[in-house]
């Protein structure tokens, strides 16, 4: 499905974005090993989260809808282990790298025989970043030369200390999930802080988990084989989805929007600080702070200036960089992104995808090995943009398209369903 966008429009109104995708994945998985029944409101309706739900059902966890909530019948850590079968369970993760990597950690820890596969895009994304550390702690897990399929069989895991070599919340979480099944204390250390939803959720579930903050990063200390209390939560709106409306309002003339009940966790909402230092008129109203901070975000049209991002900021905004790139096209001066080579192994090579998108609209951008430099304040022209099957590139293109005089075509725009089903309908409803 292609999407046609007529430009030179503003956006106005109140917007509710879907439940946060990262939190939703973790809630489904941890609810499956909790001791009792979890009730979750506001679960993400994205295709990625549906992949996790389908996988958990296939390994024996009842998950269903009741009274507007998602109900998960957990059997506890020991009960989950008892569900394993002699023959490996085949799990198809579609396009969801989060599903594949987090379940590799969970199933390796539980010594649960399984084979994980995915669609053609996911089969090209690296898996050794979770397979190798899990193998080092005693799991029997193999990959296809660093890629899917991944095969898991029964191993002998022991308490471990592991320093994560890449700034990846998925790798960290995979190791934490494995540690939940290991008798004794394990330690996972990250040198750059990444999103902390797993740690927060385990505290809420009475898990035996502690954080030790270091000069750089932190250590997570987990004592395994403790049964977890079920979840009863409402998931806040996804900041990684909200950012496309935020960027659109900042750069589209005469725009003003309010995004309601959005996740404000500092390891996820740092993009707001980046936009503010670019001159963005953004006001935040905190409405709650446990287990995750959330609130309303008001955004008005602004005159942006370029900025530089890199280093410890990158893990905190990795999913928001496509939206940042689109906004940078309208900022005065250069916007520089460095240290973001992780973008090359997402649903697409996002660095190349961003470069192609900006150039397609007539913008000026220099490709770097680990990022890019955008020279803003160019007048975009109508274009035909290839999404490359990447939901965030498709949504990023819509930001620029709103400010083009004429009609833009975004090819294969249905890929937005991976994270935000109905995105273009919401965008159209607030465009004036």
Q: What is the DSSP annotation of 27-56? A: HHHHHHHSEEEEEEES----HHHHHHHHHH
Residue found under tokens 């990625």: 48
Catalytic status, residue 119: no
Lay out the sheet containing 218-223: strands in order across. Answer: 161-164, 185-190, 218-223, 209-213
Q: Find, among 405, 344, 391, the residue nearest to 49 by Cα.
A: 391
Strands 407-411 and 384-386, by their bridges, are parallel
Inter-helix orientation angle 270-277/321-328, to 10°: 10
Q: Which residues pair with 36 in a beta bridge?
A: 74
Dihedral sign for Cα atoms in the order 414, 252, 357, 125: negative
Q: Find, among 308, 248, 316, 229, the residue nearest to 30 by Cα.
A: 229
Helix, strand, coil percent values for the chain (each to nearest 5): 35, 30, 35
Q: Cα–chain-centroid distance for residue 403?
A: 27
CA dihedral 206, 209, 214, 217 (to 10 degrees): -90
The angle formed by the CA atoms of residues 299, 305 and 306, to the nearest 5 degrees, is 115
Q: Which residues pair with 151 in a beta bridge?
A: 115, 142
The angle formed by the CA atoms of residues 229, 418 and 353, to the nearest 5 degrees, is 130
Q: Which residues pair with 241 in a beta bridge?
A: none
Contact between residue 73 and residue 265 where contact means Cβ atoms under 8 Å apart: no
Of these residues, 319, 356, 390, 417, which one is catalytic? 319
The span from the CA of 249 to the CA of 256, in Å, is 6
The span from the CA of 244 to the CA of 181, in Å, is 39
The span from the CA of 416 to the CA of 48, in Å, is 11
- The residues carrying an active-site annotation are 319
């Amino acid at each position: 499905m292609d999407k046609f966008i007529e430009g030179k429009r503003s956006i106005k109104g109140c917007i509710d974005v879907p439940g946060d995708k990262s939190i939703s994945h973790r809630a489904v998985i941890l609810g499956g090993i909790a001791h009792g029944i979890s009730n979750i409101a506001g679960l993400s309706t994205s295709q990625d989260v549906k992949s996790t739900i389908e996988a958990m059902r296939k390994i024996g966890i009842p998950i269903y809808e009741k009274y507007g909530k998602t109900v998960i019948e957990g059997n506890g850590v020991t009960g989950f282990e008892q569900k394993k079968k002699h023959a490996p369970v085949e799990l198809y993760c579609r396009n969801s790298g989060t599903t594949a990597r987090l379940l590799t950690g969970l199933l390796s820890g539980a010594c649960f025989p399984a084979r994980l596969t995915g669609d053609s895009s996911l089969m090209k994304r690296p898996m050794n970043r979770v397979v190798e550390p899990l193998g080092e702690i005693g799991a029997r897990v193999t990959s296809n030369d660093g890629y899917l399929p991944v095969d898991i069989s029964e191993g002998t895991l022991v308490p471990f200390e592991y320093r994560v070599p890449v700034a990846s919340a998925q790798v960290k979480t995979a190791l934490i999930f494995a540690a939940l099944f290991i008798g004794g204390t394990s330690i996972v250390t990250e040198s750059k802080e990444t999103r902390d939803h797993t740690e927060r959720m385990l505290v809420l579930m009475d898990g035996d988990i502690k954080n030790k903050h270091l000069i750089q990063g932190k250590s997570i200390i987990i004592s395994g084989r403790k049964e977890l209390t079920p979840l009863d939560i409402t998931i806040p709106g996804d900041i990684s989805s909200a950012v496309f409306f935020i960027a659109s309002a900042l750069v589209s003339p005469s725009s003003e929007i309010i995004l309601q009940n959005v996740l404000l966790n500092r390891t996820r909402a740092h993009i707001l600080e980046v936009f503010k230092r670019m001159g963005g008129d953004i006001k935040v109203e905190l409405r709650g702070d446990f287990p995750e901070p959330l609130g309303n975000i008001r955004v008005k049209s602004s005159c942006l200036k370029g900025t530089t991002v890199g280093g410890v900021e990158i893990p905190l905004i990795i999913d928001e960089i496509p939206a940042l790139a689109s906004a940078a096209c309208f900022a005065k001066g250069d916007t520089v992104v460095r240290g973001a080579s992780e973008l090359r192994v997402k649903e697409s090579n996002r660095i190349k995808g961003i470069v192609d998108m900006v150039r397609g609209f007539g913008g000026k951008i220099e490709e770097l090995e680990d990022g890019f430099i955008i020279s803003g304040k160019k007048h975009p022209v109508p274009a035909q943009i290839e999404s490359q099957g990447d939901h965030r590139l498709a949504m990023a293109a819509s930001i620029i398209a709103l400010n083009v005089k004429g009609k833009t075509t975004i090819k294969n725009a249905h890929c937005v369903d991976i994270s935000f089903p109905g995105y273009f309908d919401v965008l159209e409803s607030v465009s004036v």
